[in-house]
Amino acid sequence: MLNDLWYKNAIVYCLSVGTFMDSNGDGVGDFQGLVRRLPYLQGLGVTTIWLMPFQPSPGRDNGYDISDYYNVDSKYGTLGDFAEFTHACHERGMRVMVDLVINHTSDQHPWFREARSDPASKYHDWYVWADRQPPHARDGVVFPGVQKSTWTFDKQAKRWFFHRFYDFQPDLNTANPQVHAELLKIMGFWLQLGVSGFRMDAVPFVIGTKGAKVRQPVEQYDMLRSFREFLQWRTGDAIILAEANVLPDTDLDYFGDEGERLQMMFNFQVNQNTFYTLATGDTGPLKKALTATKARPATAQWGVFLRNHDELDLGRLAPEQRAAVFAAFGPDPDMQLYGRGIRRRLAPMLSGDRRRVELAYSLMLTLPGTPVFRYGDEIGMGEDLSLPERECARTPMQWSTEPHGGFTKHPNPSSRVISGGAYGFERVNVASQRRDPNSFLNWTERMIRMRREVPEISWGDFAILRASRNDVLALRYDWRNNSVVCVHNFAAEACTVKFRSGCNGPGENRLVNLLSDDHSEEGDDGRHTVVLEPYGYRWYRVGGLDYLLKRSEL
Ligand code: NOJ
């Protein structure tokens, strides 16, 4: 039954254990603190928690430099705490996904230590080496301006090693069968501890060919199939959500034509064009991106997001489009990063304008796919630009007006909560927003609740409706003889928009508003005429309120 695909109608919430909640006052968030906050996440409507890396790590790339795949960093607790955490999530009907960082290890991982100190060791070939500096060593850096090269000379091994990311993250030789077997073992380990899937880091690099002679890596897609098969053999419903910022014409290679590879991928194409539309009001490129990423097998699903823990990567936009987004949301060079992105959180990018923030989230919740929230965005947290690179948008969760935002009782924690100003914990925090029925937190909770009741978006096919204005996006979803229409106005002015719903069945000339009382009747010209507020949005069900009444097949 297609209904068994839990990830289709999930609400994913991404967080870092270390910055969420500190239970023991040592200044670092931990699993016990996170467990205490599960009622909060459950109340918000979250169904799946995605944990960023929490394994032992020197912590030079926010944990994406792992030194032991089979453990929990002692800063955050123990493996026992992790098992308690997954148990507590399951008790509350929530699932857990964890980051799977297998493109590279930390240079402090015992495998790399042995590889560099003993070229005869089996671990030497677990990494990617060259005797001489490859001629293209300066190509393909992921963090331009910070990272100089993708090959570094190792004094111990007296050879060059390959690192797609920073030089302390040597790439694993994923083509080595022993490495492949170990990667499966890592997945098997965390599945055994109760996770439902993995957010797989840097997938194009994991499956790309690597080596001194490789100028243009070639993706080995069969690897994805073998991951998928292993996962489903061990745990039938476990999934992989891929981080793969690739062009639309390769999407199907990742999903597999028959859906035999990965179940989910983040939709970077739609993400970047969403920001272009938010910046300019021009919906054209977003419509193109939606159309270009439309084809996917029935079991596959996009992960839809606004901001994540990295910079807002605008690298796939045309230069003039990128310039428009920079000008609107990150004009100061210090807000920009790696020449391609913006390192800010969403609320400050939108000048804290509640109407625009609502528009952005209403859109995210109604784009084709499964919405992925980032911790703190549900209260409109900001960034601390005094912190380096991407750290600025990774500050601790703001729980209350208590010292350090209630995140920790430590007098001087190394992770500093944002304090003072429009986004400081004194003004932006969970406790205050909980008490205010009109807060953004309560708005988000209501919208998530409604989104869960509109399975057409998760499961259905979509059509872009021809709206009479280019600054309005109107989408219709159809699923099991039910349809919903979602309309978003990207302009700062109120407007009147006309469109045909495209549904002509009995009673279908009526659009029933799912969020308020103002419904829409089709006019004599067969079109709906809707007056939208500045940055206004509508969610309608065609014909009636309840999709169950019309459900014709199960
Ligand atoms: C992608 C992650 O999102 C990013 O935070 C990290 O730095 C790189 N992969 C390297 O693991």
**Domain end marker among 452, 469, 487:** 452
pLDDT of 4:
84
User: Of 419, 452, 485, which marks where a domain is finished?
Assistant: 452
Identified catalytic residue from 154, 201, 219, 377: 201
Structural domain containing residue 517? 460-553
Query: pLDDT > 70: what percent of the chain?
Result: 98
The number of the ligand 1 atom at minimal distance from the alpha carbon of 164 is 10
Candidates 142, 99, 107; CA nearest to 123 is 107
Residue 318: CB partners within 8 Å, gap ≥ 6? Answer: none
61 CA from centroid of ligand 1 (Å): 7
How many residues would you count in the chain?
A: 554
The mean per-residue pLDDT over the stretch 331-350 comes to 98
Residue 22 known to be catalytic: no
pLDDT surpassing 70 at residue 551: no
pLDDT at 554 over 90: no
* 40 and 114 fall within a common domain: no
Nearest Cα to 100, choosing from 70, 139, 140, 144? 70
Residue 471 sits in a domain whose CATH number is 2.60.40.1180
Tell which residue, 325, 238, 229, has the closest CA to residue 278.
325
Are residues 57 and 147 both part of a single domain? no
From 7, 26, 3, select the one nearest 415 (Cα to Cα): 26
* CATH at residue 140: 3.90.400.10
Q: Which CATH number does the domain housing residue 317 bear?
A: 3.20.20.80
548 confidence band (pLDDT: 50, 70, 90)? low
- Measured CA to CA, the distance from residue 527 to residue 505 in angstroms comes to 14
Which of 452, 481, 496 is the endpoint of a domain?
A: 452
Structural domains in the chain (count): 3
Strands 510-513 and 370-374: unpaired
**Residues framing ligand 1 (Cβ under 6 A):** 61, 64, 101, 165, 201-202, 243, 309-310
DSSP states of 122-180 as a string?
Answer: GGGGGB-EESS--TTTTTT-SSBTTB--SEEEETTTTEEEE-SS-TTSPBB-TTSHHHH
Is 549's pLDDT higher than 80?
Answer: no
Indicate if the pLDDT at residue 8 is higher than 80: yes
Residue 334 CA to ligand 1 center (angstroms) comes to: 20
Helices 354-366 and 268-280 meet at what angle, rounded to 10? 150
Residue 99: active-site member: no
Q: Is residue 1 part of a domain?
A: no
